[in-house]
Structure 1
Amino acid sequence: MTDERICDVLIVGSGATGALAALTLAEAGLDVVCLEQGSWVEAKDHPHLHSDWTWQRRTNWSPDVNKRTHPDDFPVHSDSSQILMWNAVGGSTNVYGAIWPRYRPSDFRKGTEHGLQPDWPITYEDVAPYYEQADRLVGVSALAGDPAMPPRDTPPTRPMPVSKVAKRLASGFDTLGWHWWPVEAGTITEDYDGRPACNNCGTCNGCPRGSMSKYSLSIWPKALEAGCELRINARVLRIEKGRDGRATGALYVDRNTGHEHFQRAKIVIVAANGIGTPRLLLASDNLANSNDQVGRHLMHHTLVACEMWVDEPVDGQIGYVASLLSRQFAETDVSRGFVNGFNFNCITSTASAGELAAGWFTSARAPWGKGHHEWFKRRFGHSIGVFAIGDDIPNPENRVTLDPVLKDSDGVPAARTHYAPGENDRRMMNYMLDRLEDLAKACGAFDYRLQDYRDKDGVYRTPAWHMIGTCRMGADPETSVVNKWHQTWEVPNLFIVDGSVLATGGVVNPTPTISALALRAAAYIRDNFETLSTATRPSIAA
């Protein structure tokens, strides 16, 4: 059934970027419809208040779509160890950690720096005002003045409390003479915009209180009040294109009734994440992909980790998920044997006794029988975790394709992903492991374990927590999918507004940058709607 109403803007996906685009465009008075294949996640649905919290986090609340297998999900055939995404209103902000650092100016000009990655067609300065806008909407907690970063406005809320974990890690960084700074968090430290301050209850994956900015609580109420129409349980099957080369709308199935509908639109925005977006374009008769770039250059970040234990009780089982960041090695220094850099995300521990005993994120497990209680007593509350996250080189063979056999419950081919670190990435990972060992020793750890995410066969299984780069932005239509305004080169009224447009990965969690870019793209569509709604070719505006 075709909806005779032609909306101004149709958005596919209600995650962070879909929410921000909906808010910006609806507030401008445009007729906006958003289709979301999942539904609302209520506070009571979260595992935080349940006695089987640990079990739920490993099963029906696992961030890995393949372990969770919820009806709202679609399957992903992956050779990486974990695909983190959540199909619901607010998307993956229902399960993320909300670590909130920005890209650095150099992240936008890697082509100029060393030529192994492309330059972005935009700069840090182009994005900076939208970083500030996103921070205000989210209520970011941070401390201005980091000497490793450009100046910024005073953050909306003060930084997270200095924990015992943070103090111990800071002493280690100081011993080594390395940079550190309080973590920037998408979590409020004081009541803000109708949401309660973080109560530091423990290591987080999502937040039922809304203290950690879950976009269904922080952004969507504003977008709905502004007039956006949000249709849940609406799985998009494909985007259609007319004879004039413009997108006409989207065919979707109402998962409550099983009926198919077609929503017409003047402009279509795809905001379905770095896997969902290329999957949908490929399933839509290879839409916007005559140059074979859709789905290529999948990046996850290089990742290694260290779990350490110190004699001093540091109460790592309580408090916000992260404590400090270190940008000591964020910039390229070729004397290290590779290009690009990495960031330390210094986190707390697991709040679960059982999870710690069974192996938290390394191979360290409590022995059964004799020695179990002694092992546990010495480690619970004494554990600290550190991730090292690096900027991986985009590789066209790391990609998202359609699975030739596997389909979702509505018959759409599943996504199939391939990702393997390259030689530069592996050199960086080995260097990161050495630096993590330095840090553990500088912190006075009585024991530590390194995690390089290799399986028993020696194959890297880097967790796919960050899914970016698969419809990347660029200045050349032959090597990119969208222009600097997120407009696809081939379909002038089709925009991609999510992590798939990132041309490089940076060394930090991508949600702040993705959010800022979504606000920038939505502002462009808002300010140029009349032209874009009839355009027959992409914009070349400066």
Structure 2
Amino acid sequence: MNTDRTCDVLIVGAGATGSLAALVLAQGGLDVVCLEQGSWVEAEDHPHLHADWTWQRRTNWSPDVNKRTHPDDFPVTTDSSQILMWNAVGGSTNVYGAIWPRYRPSDFRKGTEHGLQPDWPITYEDIAPYYEEADRLVGVSGLAGDPAMPARDTCPTRPMPVSKVAKRLASGFDRLGWHWWPAEAGAISEDYDGRPACNNCGACNGCPRGSMSKYSMSIWPKALEAGCELRINARVLKIETDADGRASGARYVDRNTGHTHFQKAKIVIVAANGIGTPRLLLASDNLANSNDQVGRHLLHHTLVACELWVDEPVDGHIGYVASLLSRQFAETDVSRGFVNGFNFNCITSTASAGELAAGWFTTARAPWGKEHHSWFQRHFGHSIGVFAIGDDLPNPDNRVTLDPVLKDSDGVPAAKTQYAPGENDKRMMNYMLDRLEELAKACGAFDYRLHDYRGKDGVYRTPAWHMIGTCRMGDDPKTSVVNKWNQTWEVPNLFIVDGSVLTTGGVVNPTPTISALALRAAAYIRDNFEALSDTTRRSIAA
């Protein structure tokens, strides 16, 4: 490890987007260093192969950073019920479900559509080639030809097997005349690129086999082979700037030795997720934030859910986590009483008998006493889950700030988040719940439970599975943090490539879009490196 040299590109964060940027830039011949505050997650570390799988998922392997006590984590003060992030090589791909839908063309032009969200400075057509590239790297499985989406290349691997859950849900959608399509997955249905095909073990949240694309197994080996230097257990304390206001590198602590180092760089890329990135910029003397936009417009997605049970055994405890998607209500129709739309993510069930009996993701629990066994016999293997995920409107008061008191173990202020849905979002939630009830009945459910995350006190406590929008992309330096190339307006050699740059939330899981944007930004840096690293140039690229 040579911290005295000035590397070409320094990347903060070795998650999905940091790994993709490292791959593109190292393969392009640049000297790349990546700092990751966590470590590697080995196959045997995952809870899947352990008898106490359920307990581990609720404790030390909880995806919620505040429910586990890992030394790699930093604390988050929040009003959300969960903060899903994982600090390690591969980031949250160690615990995600890898549902892999794309944004729609209309997601990039909401300002034109209704004016309550800004237009992106790019279009679907600008990002489409990078969607394809990300799919090839990941080995996405799926079926091309969805009539609700633009034409795309054939998926690298064929769709996941059609499950009993999918068949039962499809029958319900057909009765209602609603759109459905097999879910695209960031998991491989056949052997691909040295990784084994999915074995349909069920309840996917991370994958020790690498069948679901853990970026530590699918991307990082290629980036390391190309020459990227990855330093684990390296927590960045601050991004430094020079006399001209350009990023000069990062000060970090080696958590193995306790020593602090400074890594100099010509270009700095931050890839620390929608909470970690604004936290780091704010802790770096309010870097790139003279317009007070860093940390604002936090988006989680408007979320409600339905858990339903059918008489037919559907074996929801096995198979890939996602079965179908429905974009029936994805586009704006103001006759519904709100703008924007939502998507149905149709999933399987929990693979754990204990989780089902104790309440999976609604309040339905097996009764204690003589009815326990009969309830369990009727419900286990008969359950199906459906999430409705909506495009929440950005609100500058939904934001990430620094906690004034709480700090991490190295003295950096903790992140503090606040989020509440607006009136448009609440009207959408009510409409979504009504549609979920219709779907449960159309599927012939003998029982169903709705979950709107508002609780009995009316306080919205969404699980923050998607943390986006806090350093958003735009074409106006007054209202955005980065331009169309993920380059910060105020610091020409500072780029952001994680979910914080998303201008709008869309109605789908964001990882495919975040990955595509990271590939696009990295290609731009690679192709324009000399100009971007020239200290005599102060202007932002067009």
If the TM-score is normalised by the length of the shorter chain, which range does it land in?
over 0.9
**Aligned partners of 1:188 and 1:326: how far apart in 2?**
21
CA contact (8 A) 1:63 1:84 kept: yes
CA distance in 2, matches of 1:3, 1:520: 28
CA distance, structure 2, for counterparts of residue 69 and residue 120 of structure 1: 38
| Number of residue pairs aligned between Structure 1 and Structure 2 | 541
Is contact 1:2-1:261 (8 Å) kept? no
CA distance in 1 between partners of 2:286 and 2:88 (Å): 25
Q: Counterpart in 2 of 1:78?
A: 78
Tell me, what secondary structure is at the counterpart of 1:199?
Answer: coil
TM-score (norm 1): 0.99
Q: Aligned-pair distance for 1:538?
A: 4.2
> Which residue does the alignment assign to 1:481?
481
| CA-to-aligned-CA distance 1:205-248 (integer Å, 9 cap, x gap) | 00000000000000000000000000000000000011111000
Q: How does 1:207-356 map to 2 (within 5 A)?
A: 207-356=207-356
1:370 Cα deviation after fit: 1.9
Equivalent position of 1:537 in the other structure: 538
CA distance in 2, matches of 1:204, 1:181: 20
- Please list the CA deviations of residues 2-28 of structure 1 after superposition, one character each: whole Å capped at 9, or x if unmatched: 932000000000000000000000001
Q: Is the aligned partner of 1:131 residue 2:122?
A: no
Give 1:161's aligned residue.
Answer: 161
How far does the alpha carbon of each residue in 1:321-342 deviate from its partner, in whole angstroms, 9 at most, with x for none? 0100000000000000000000
- Mapping of 1:86-105 within 5 angstroms? 86-105=86-105
Distance 1:204 1:440 in 2: 23
- Would you say the 8 A contact 1:488–1:538 is kept in 2? no
CA shift for structure 1 position 68: 1.1
Cα distance, 1:539 vs. partner? Answer: 2.8
TM, length-normalised to structure 2: 0.99
Shift of 1:534: 1.3
In structure 2, distance between residues paired with 1:459 and 1:256: 42
Which consecutive residues of structure 2, in runs of 5 or more, have no partner in the other structure?
none
CA distance in 1, matches of 2:500, 2:305: 25
Residue equivalent to 1:515? 515
Give the corresponding residue for 1:29: 29
SS in 2 for 1:66: coil
In structure 1, what is the Cα distance between the partners aligned to 2:168 and 2:384?
9
Give the secondary-structure state (helix, strand or coil) at the position aligned to 1:67.
coil
> Residue type of the partner of 1:291?
N
Match of 2:389 in 1: 389
Distance of 1:463 and 1:364 partners within structure 2:
18
Q: Distance in 2 between matches of 1:2 and 1:302?
A: 46
Q: Measure, in 1, the Cα distance between the counterparts of 2:238 and 2:262.
A: 10
C-alpha contact 1:491 1:538 (8 A) present in aligned 2: no
Q: Residue 300 of structure 2 aligns to which amino acid in structure 1?
A: H
- The secondary structure found in structure 1 opposite 2:281 is helix
Aligned-partner residue type, residue 169 of structure 2: L
CA distance in 2: counterparts of 1:473 and 1:525, whole angstroms: 16
Aligned to 1:446: 446
Cα deviation for residue 287 of structure 1 reads: 0.2
CA RMSD of aligned residues (A): 0.9
> AA paired with 2:470?
T
Matched, 1:202 2:202: yes
The answer to whether the 8 Å contact 1:490/1:537 transfers is no
The amino acid that maps onto 2:354 is G
1-10 vs 75-84, greater mean Cα deviation: 1-10
Matched position secondary structure for 1:298: coil
1:330-376: CA deviation from partner (whole Å, max 9, x where unpaired): 00000000000000000000000010000000010000002111100
**What does residue 47 of structure 2 align with?**
47
Relative to structure 1, is the Cα distance of residues 274 and 538 closer, same or farther in structure 2, using a 3 angstrom cutoff? farther
Residue 458 of structure 1: how far off its partner (Å):
1.3
Query: Contact 1:96 / 1:206 at 8 angstroms: preserved in 2?
Result: yes
TM-superposition CA deviations, 1:252-278 (whole Å, max 9, x none): 000000000000000000000000000
| Equivalence for 1:14 | 14
* Aligned mates of 2:63, 2:200 — CA distance in 1: 21
The whole-number CA distance in structure 2 between the counterparts of 1:243 and 1:492 is: 14
* Change in 2 beyond 3 A, CA 1:261/1:462: same
Name the residue aligned to 1:465. 465
CA–CA separation in structure 1 for the residues paired with 2:71 and 2:4? 30
Moved more, 158-167 or 526-535: 526-535
Counterpart AA for 1:4: D
Q: Distance in 2 between matches of 1:101 and 1:276?
A: 24
Matched with 2:106 is 106
One-letter code aligned to 2:241: K
Post-superposition Cα deviations, 1:6-57, rounded to whole Å, max 9, x if no partner, equal 0000000000000000000000110000000000000000000000000000
Cα contact 1:343–1:390 (8 A) shared by 2: yes
SS at match of 2:3: strand
Q: In structure 1, the residue corresponding to 2:416 is in which secondary structure?
A: strand
Q: Is the 8 A contact 1:490 1:538 kept in 2?
A: no
Take 2:540 and 2:344, find their aligned partners in 1: how far apart are those partners?
39
